[in-house]
Amino acid sequence: MSQLAQSAASSIIIIDYGSGNLRSAEKAFARQAKSRPVHVSGRPEDVLAGDHIVLPGVGAFGDCIDGLRAIDGMVEALEIRVLKQARPLLGICVGMQIMCRHGLERAPDTPHQGLGWFDAEVRPLAAHNGLKVPHMGWNEIAVRDTQKVVAPLDGEDVYFVHGFAATPLSDKGRSEIAATTDYGGDVTAILARDNLIGVQFHPEKSQQAGLGFIERFLEWQP
CATH number of the domain where residue 149 is located: 3.40.50.880
Q: Are 139 and 181 in contact (CB under 8 A)?
A: yes
Domain count of the chain? 1
Q: Domain of residue 172: give its range.
A: 3-219
Instruction: Tell me the residue length of the chain.
Output: 222
**Which pLDDT band holds residue 2 (cuts at 50, 70, 90)?**
low
CB neighbourhood size of 27 (10 A): 11
Q: What percent of the chain has pLDDT over 70?
A: 94
**Which pLDDT band holds residue 19 (cuts at 50, 70, 90)?**
confident
Query: Per-residue pLDDT for 43 more than 60?
Result: yes
pLDDT tens, position by position, 146-205: 889 999 999 999 999 999 999 999 999 999 999 999 999 999 999 999 999 999 999 999
Query: Per-residue pLDDT for 9 more than 70?
Result: no
The predicted model scores a pTM of: 0.94
Spatial CB neighbours of 33, under 8 Å, sequence gap ≥ 6: 12, 218
Query: Which residues form the catalytic set?
Result: 93, 202, 204
C-alpha to C-alpha distance for 55 and 20, rounded to whole angstroms: 12
pLDDT tens, position by position, 54-72: 999 999 999 999 999 999 9
Spatial CB neighbours of 53, under 8 Å, sequence gap ≥ 6: 12, 13, 15, 47, 78, 81, 82, 87, 88, 89, 90
pLDDT at 126: 85
Query: Per-residue pLDDT for 103 more than 60?
Result: yes
Opening angle at CA 141, ends 154 and 220, nearest 5:
55
